[in-house]
A = this chain, B = another copy of it.
Amino acid sequence: MQKQPTIRDVAAAAGVSVAVVSRVLNPGSGPVAAATRGRVSDVMETLGYHPRTAARELKHGPPTTLGLLLADVSNPFFARLADQVVQEAHSRGIQVLLMTTQEDDQLESERLATLIERRVSGIIATPTGNNLDTWKKLQDMGTDVVFVDRSIPALPAVDVVTINNTESARSATALMAAHGHRRIAIISGPASSTTGRDRIAGYREALDAAGLEQDELLIRSAAFRGAAGGDATTALLSLEDPPTALVVANTAQVTAVLRRLAHAGISIPEELSVIVFEDSPWTELMTPPLTIVRQPIDLLARHSVRLALSNPSGKTSGKPTVVRVDAELIERSSVSRPKPRP
């Protein structure tokens, strides 16, 4: 273990001042004779010199780090979002500090405190819905905050990137109706989440458009974490007049729902038509291949990163940006006509 050379070591070894070395380090910050530049570069090479980011950031914290605050990364949706965000950020020379909240406001609060202390230039987050003051404070500090996938209505000043949740649930439900289903159920995210609410709204719209009656018993909100999806499934199956179609609009609960259906011996689509909000490769490998709603994760990531870096310091723009991208309904084989009732 050797201690690292500093800019002064390089300057001394090259027989120049630290100012010159700094200029070599930051091309464009001032003139340096070609010969000098070469000599300094050589010295840096032989000494194995690398400037410390921490020191550089002290002067004018440059937008070199971005906070990515997700609910959790074991969920494939968030995992792929993280992957895309990291790639997109890297392509711009930006680093990503990854944090998770586990959907817990307390943890979220701690993570936000850390992000404040790090003076990250931007944050891309799936907010829990609380910590409003902290979010506001972050923006006051000039941090570019972007909510992705969800938003917080009480914070209308924050940029948001989501899919068109209402429309995606509407089209999925409409497909069920078009196949002749009259008892269509939906399992969505919690009512406290914008995704949950919007998707249920789209579901209702589709029912109205199809002239179908709304039955509150067929609308289930399940938490993102835990086994809520399985329980909701069981509840739906044990209804007196059970649904013939099910839209699983809570990505985090898709496997829990499917597991419960399998254990209950429900055959898809004969007994129950199913559409899930989930775009992993395995949905195609199921028997039958599942009809899905595909969320364009790469677009979400790209727009999020762009917005999180768009206001280098201090936003003058008045109103926040809201990007809404369209999801895609991929029809495979898990939807059919309902079997006639006895």
Report A's interface with B, CB cutoff 8 A. 1-2, 4, 48, 50-55, 57-58, 61, 68, 72-74, 76, 79-80, 82-83, 86-87, 90, 95-100, 102, 107, 111, 113-114, 116-119, 137, 140-142, 255-256, 258-259, 262, 280-282, 284-287, 313-315
Q: Does the CB pair A83–B90 fall under 8 Å? A: no
Residue among A74, A87, A114, A287 with max Cβ neighbours from chain B (10 Å): A74
Please pick, from B4, B72, B87, the residue contacting A100 in the complex, using a CB distance under 8 A.
Answer: B87
A230 smallest CB distance to B (angstroms)? 11
Q: Which residue of B lies closest to A119 (CB)?
A: B52
Please pick, from B53, B82, B286, the residue contacting A286 in the complex, using a CB distance under 8 A.
Answer: B286
Q: Does the CB pair A98–B100 fall under 8 Å? A: no
Q: Which residue of B lies closest to A118 (CB)?
A: B53
Taken together as a complex, chains A and B put the C-alpha atoms of A232 and B106 apart, in Å, by: 48
Please pick, from B50, B82, B141, the residue contacting A82 in the complex, using a CB distance under 8 A.
Answer: B82
A276 smallest CB distance to B (angstroms)? 11
The 9 closest A-B pairs by CB, nearest first: A79-B79, A287-B287, A73-B83, A255-B281, A98-B98, A1-B314, A282-B282, A1-B142, A54-B57
Q: Which residue of B lies closest to A82 (CB)?
A: B73
State whether A86 and B100 are in contact (beta carbons under 8 Å apart), knowing that A255-B282, A281-B255 are contacts in the complex. Answer: yes
Residues of chain B within 8 A (CB-CB) of A284 are: 259
A285 smallest CB distance to B (angstroms)? 5
How many identical chains are in the complex?
2
A1-B140, A280-B282 given; 7 more Cβ-contact pairs under 8 Å = A50-B117, A52-B58, A58-B58, A73-B83, A74-B83, A79-B83, A86-B98
Q: Does the CB pair A55–B53 fall under 8 Å? A: no
Residues of chain B within 8 A (CB-CB) of A142 are: 1
Taken together as a complex, chains A and B put the C-alpha atoms of A142 and B1 apart, in Å, by: 5
Q: Does the CB pair A97–B97 fall under 8 Å? A: yes
Taken together as a complex, chains A and B put the C-alpha atoms of A238 and B166 apart, in Å, by: 47
Residues of chain B within 8 A (CB-CB) of A118 are: 52-54, 95
Q: Does the CB pair B54–A119 fall under 8 Å? A: yes
State whether A76 and B73 are in contact (beta carbons under 8 Å apart), knowing that A52-B117, A97-B96, A98-B86 are contacts in the complex. Answer: no
Taken together as a complex, chains A and B put the C-alpha atoms of A283 and B259 apart, in Å, by: 11
Taken together as a complex, chains A and B put the C-alpha atoms of A119 and B53 apart, in Å, by: 8
Please pick, from B82, B95, B111, the residue contacting A97 in the complex, using a CB distance under 8 A.
Answer: B95
A306 smallest CB distance to B (angstroms)? 19
Please pick, from B87, B98, B314, the residue contacting A96 in the complex, using a CB distance under 8 A.
Answer: B98
A202 smallest CB distance to B (angstroms)? 26
Residues of chain B within 8 A (CB-CB) of A61 are: 52, 54
Q: Which residue of B lies closest to A114 (CB)?
A: B95
Q: Does the CB pair B96–A137 fall under 8 Å? A: no
Residues of chain B within 8 A (CB-CB) of A256 are: 281
A108 smallest CB distance to B (angstroms)? 12
